[in-house]
Amino acid sequence: MNLEERIKALAEQTEFTADDRKAFEEFKELLRKGEIRAAEKDSAGNWKANAWVKQGILLGFKMGAMIEVSSEGDQFQFFDKDTYPLRPMSLEDRIRIVPGGSTIRDGSYIAPGVVCMPPMYVNVGAYVDEGTMIDSHALVGSCAQIGKRVHISAAAQIGGVLEPVNANPVVIEDDCLIGGNTGIYEGVIVREKCVIASGVILTRSTPVFDLANEVVFKAQNGKPLEIPSHAVVVQGSRAITSGFGKENGLSIYAPIIVKYRDERTDAATKLEDYLR
Ligand SMILES: CC(C)(COP(=O)(O)OP(=O)(O)OC[C@H]1O[C@@H](n2cnc3c(N)ncnc32)[C@H](O)[C@@H]1OP(=O)(O)O)[C@@H](O)C(=O)NCCC(=O)NCCS
């Protein structure tokens, strides 16, 4: 039985042996090394979720026993499943974790050159590629797939797949800027070099209006919402044109692609090499 088959079989069990736990540890180590991923891009450029990987992550919660994870005598106490300790790290990993209350859960992949500003949280199954900056108060949710040289600004929230239950992880491709106080949830795919302006919220149910091409992007036919590459998305609103909404002059939140990235955007979003 290969690892995928083993994980699927274990997911059906309710009791576990030491050998079963060993199989789970092997699975978690491969996640940590980035050798297995919750979602992968195929040669045609389409993202495909690996459902069995999420199954394996849930298995860890089922299999784990609650333990105290604080250091002895520590005033700050922590309790979690013994299957999900902090990710083991060393200087050789070449990941900068600036002191101040950040947490990276085991079973996540963090590439060399990633910078973590405190406090931030990376959950299990997340994949964060080279040169990405995760700024203060940012969340990289379970199984989220983050590309190279992405800037996840302060307080940006990248949602996970565990709760509420979602099938597809959020994907942020290379060279995106995810602005401050943004929220990207429910399997949204942000293609490379996009700029998501501060405050924009994207979910599976959010239509995105493209001013440049006069089209509306939506999640449909089981496919997640996808933001095309180089898009600059800002917060907007649209009028409710009938009934009670119209009578009361209400409008509803509507993210808008105001343009596709140009030199001005590059200047506004330039990253500082010295910080890396
Ligand atoms: C998107 C952003 C990068 C600006 O990009 P830009 O290419 O310089 O945009 P421009 O100034 O050319 O603006 C293009 C249009 O969008 C509008 N616009 C730009 N940013 C906007 C925003 N955040 N909200 C609403 N409208 C915005 C402009 O008013 C302009 O509209 P107009 O053509 O009708 O005048 C900037 O608004 C932004 O959000 N930066 C990220 C800030 C941040 O989160 N930093 C992280 C700190 S930790």
269 in ligand 1 pocket by Cβ < 6 Å? Answer: yes
DSSP tally for the chain: helices H, then strands E: 5, 28
Closest CA to ligand 1's atom 14: 258
Rounded CA separation 25/41 (Å): 25
Q: Are residues 101 and 179 in the same domain?
A: yes
d(CA 152, CA 165): 23
Nearest CA to ligand 1 atom 28: 258
The two tokens of residue 105 are 């859960």
The CA distance from 117 to 71, in Å, is: 23
Q: Give the range among 24-38, 67-81, 105-119 with minimum mean pLDDT.
A: 67-81
Residue 175: predicted pLDDT = 97
* Average confidence (pLDDT) over 104-131: 98
SS3 state of residue 23: helix
Q: Is residue 273 part of a domain?
A: no
| Residue 246 sits in the same domain as residue 204 | yes
Asked whether residue 94 falls in the same domain as residue 61, the answer is: no
Identify the pLDDT of residue 227: 98
- Percent with pLDDT over 90 in the chain: 91
Chain centroid to CA 271: how far? Answer: 20
Same domain, 41 and 165: no
Both 156 and 61 in one domain: the answer is no
Residue 24: inside a domain: yes
Q: How confident is the model at residue 164 (pLDDT cuts 50, 70, 90)?
A: confident
Length of the chain: 276
Pocket test for ligand 1, best of 227, 257, 258, 275 (most atoms within 8 A of CB): 258
Q: What is the CATH number of the domain that holds 38?
A: 1.10.166.10
> Helix (H, G, I), strand (E, B), or coil: what is residue 141?
coil
Rounded (5°) CA angle 87-37-206? 105
Q: Which atom of ligand 1 is nearest to the CA of 177?
A: 41
201 and 243 assigned to the same domain: yes
pLDDT tens-place string over residues 253-265 = 999 999 999 999 9
Domain co-membership, 128 together with 200: yes
- Are 235 and 195 in contact by the 8 Å Cβ rule? The answer is no
Cβ neighbourhood burial of 18 (10 Å; 0-12, 13-18, 19+): exposed
Instruction: For residues 90 and 182, state if they share a domain.
Output: yes
In the predicted model, is pLDDT for residue 24 greater than 90?
Answer: yes
- Look at residue 74 and tell me if it is in a domain: no
Task: Report yes or no on 77 lying in a domain.
Answer: no
Are residues 55 and 117 located together in one domain of the fold? no
pLDDT band at 69 (very low <50, low <70, confident <90, very high): very high
Q: How many domains, in total, are found in the chain?
A: 2
**pLDDT 10s digits, 89-116:** 999 999 999 999 999 999 999 999 999 9
**Considering the chain, what is the average pLDDT of its residues?**
96
Same-domain status, 104 and 228: yes
Helix (H, G, I), strand (E, B) or coil at 137: coil
Q: Is residue 235 part of a domain?
A: yes
Phi (first) and psi of residue 265, to 5 degrees: -65, -40
H helices of the chain, in order, are 3-11, 18-32, 51-63, 243-247, 263-268
Instruction: Report CA-CA distances (Å) from 230 to 44, 184, 190, 223.
Output: 19, 17, 9, 20
Residue 26 pLDDT > 90, yes or no?
yes
Please check whether residue 272 lies inside any domain of the structure: no
Q: Are residues 200 and 142 in the same domain?
A: yes
- 170: three-class secondary structure by DSSP: coil
Question: Distance of CA 256 to CAs 212, 227, 238, Å?
Answer: 10, 11, 10
The pLDDT of residue 73 = 86
Q: Is the CB of 234 under 6 A from ligand 1?
A: yes
Q: The domain containing residue 151 runs over which residues?
A: 86-264
75 found inside a domain: no
Does the pLDDT value for residue 275 go beyond 90? no
Pocket lining: 254 vs ligand 1, CB cutoff 6 Å: no
- Domain CATH for 169: 2.160.10.10
- Within a domain: 71: no
Distance 160 CA to ligand 1 centre (A): 27
Residue nearest to atom 6 of ligand 1 (CA): 265
| Residue 32 shares a structural domain with residue 169 | no
